[in-house]
Structure 1
Amino acid sequence: MLRTIRFAPFAAVALLAAAPAMAADSPVVGTWATEAVTDFGTFKSTLTVAEAADGYQVDIKDVPLEGAPPAPPSPPGSISDVVVDGSNFSFKRKLTTPQGEMQFSYTGTVDGDKLTAEVDTGQFGKIPVTGVRQ
């Protein structure tokens, strides 16, 4: 019995130390340099997927086109419905553009350090997106 009690603190510390490793089990979690090639140009962004208290969260920082002013940060609530299931992911992104508000639906997979996705833009069709882990 005494050995069990002495071992308990070590077991608790080991579990706490392992918690960050367990959080990174999904290959989708991380920061990705992404690129979408369209008829209107190549759009680059940094996509970050992280674990959150209630699942996962996504942050996107768009890289401005050459000569354009810096892109504003995504407003709170502009990314929703984030789902990460193993190496698959999906989420929705709301953007305000000069043409009005648009809703994009992202779906994709991760294989090692490569990300492959598709963005359904609605009126402009589907756009392929590729990315590499940073």
Structure 2
Amino acid sequence: MLKIIRNSVAAAMLVILTACAGGNTNPFAGSWDTVATTPVGNQDSVWTISEDGTGIMSGDAGEQAIDGIVVDGNNVSFDVVIDAGGQSLSLSFSGVVEGDSLTGAFGSDFGDFNVTGTRQ
């Protein structure tokens, strides 16, 4: 009887430890409704980020691939190239994910643009 209890406790601990180890998911994964504050007004977009760190940004300028996503704890950064009225504009994002909220900024040759976001 004692052996059965000991084995049951060991199995339960294994399940708990496995669940905890699986908790290292990408906090940036999911779909985000975002707003970037720019000199030409607020720019709304939807970011769709996969667990594997790939993503798509969808907005008025169409869809762009999000490249080089780096997640370090709750900090996130990536690069994206958008079509800005027929010209390519390279942007570098750096921000923080806190639960279902995102704050950060795009850096560009034209200055920084603040960004806020909410997970869908």
> What is the TM-score when the length of structure 1 is the normalising length?
0.67
Residues 1:61 and 2:58 aligned together: yes
Q: Which runs of 4+ in 1 moved over 4 A?
A: none
Closer/same/farther in 2, CA of residues 30 and 23 from structure 1, 3 Å limit: farther
Give the structure 1 partner of residue 78 of structure 2.
91
- State how far apart, in whole Å, the 2-side matches of 1:24 and 1:46 are: 24
Amino acid at match of 1:127: F
How many residue pairs get matched?
A: 109
- Give how far 1:27 is off: 1.9
Unpaired segments ≥5 residues, structure 1: 1-13, 65-70
Q: Report sequence identity in percent.
A: 34
SS of 2:22's equivalent? Answer: helix
Gaps of 5+ in 2: 1-14
Q: Calculate the TM-score normalised by the size of structure 2.
A: 0.74
Kindly indicate whether the alpha-carbon contact (under 8 Å) linking 1:80 and 1:91 is maintained by their aligned counterparts in 2.
Answer: yes
The alignment's C-alpha RMSD in Å is 2.8
> Cα distance, 1:104 vs. partner?
0.4
More strand by share: 2
Tell me, yes or no, if the aligned pair for 2:103 and 2:117 is still in contact at 8 Å: yes
